Amino acid sequence: IAKSETQTAQTKSKAIALEMQAAMSQLQLAQAEAKSAQAEAKAAKMQLCAAEDNAPKVGSQLEDAQAAKLEAEAAKREAQTAKSQLEIAKSETQTAQTKSKAIALEMQAAMSQLQLAQAEAKSAQAEAKAAKMQLCAAEDNAPKVGSQLEDAQAAKLEAEAAKREAQTAKSQ
């Protein structure tokens, strides 16, 4: 069971790592979009300034200036949107990192359970061996002392119980 839990935790950890990579890609994309939107806004602002400077000379450029102003405002909104996407991507990255840490803790717990089960199995095997030795000693002395026959039967039952405990611990 502990081995299975360890494998499950490892699989979850790999999935979290992939989520983190995806979140980082989204973060980089959002950063690139934000830079592009800022550049567009700057260019539109420069067009607006140039158009406003030339407006007294050429009447038609006033309309161009208005259009450039609208473009600048649109670019500013796009920059805000890209900034929001950047914040979302950062948040997703943090969430993925938190999940990854939780999976690592689950893996450590599963490994501890595995080590505990192995220690219990060894202990139960030692108890079974000791009970078997008691049984053999009692059976050797049975012809000499009649009462030791009952002790041997009890030791045999203990050995069987210890053997069952060993099997249980081994299963764990």
Q: Does residue 28 surpass a pLDDT of 90?
A: yes
Q: Name which residue leads in pLDDT, 138 or 3.
A: 3
pTM: 0.36
Query: What digits encode the pLDDT tens for the residues 111-167?
Result: 888 888 888 888 888 888 888 888 877 667 656 666 666 777 888 999 899 899 989
How much of the chain, in percent, has pLDDT values that exceed 90?
Answer: 23
Q: Does residue 1 surpass a pLDDT of 80?
A: yes
State the pLDDT confidence band at 170, using cuts at 50, 70 and 90: confident
Q: What pLDDT is stored for residue 83 in this prediction? A: 87
The mean predicted confidence, pLDDT, of the chain is: 85
Q: Name which residue leads in pLDDT, 23 or 140.
A: 23
State the pLDDT confidence band at 7, using cuts at 50, 70 and 90: very high
Query: What digits encode the pLDDT tens for the residues 38-54?
Result: 999 899 899 888 877 76
Written in H, E and C, the secondary structure of the chain is CHHHHHHHHHHHHHHHHHHHHHHHHHHHHHHHHHHHHHHHHHHHHHHHHHHHHHCCCCCHHHHHHHHHHHHHHHHHHHHHHHHHHHHHHHHHHHHHHHHHHHHHHHHHHHHHHHHHHHHHHHHHHHHHHHHHHHHHHHHHHCCCCCCHHHHHHHHHHHHHHHHHHHHHHHHC
Q: Does residue 18 surpass a pLDDT of 90?
A: yes
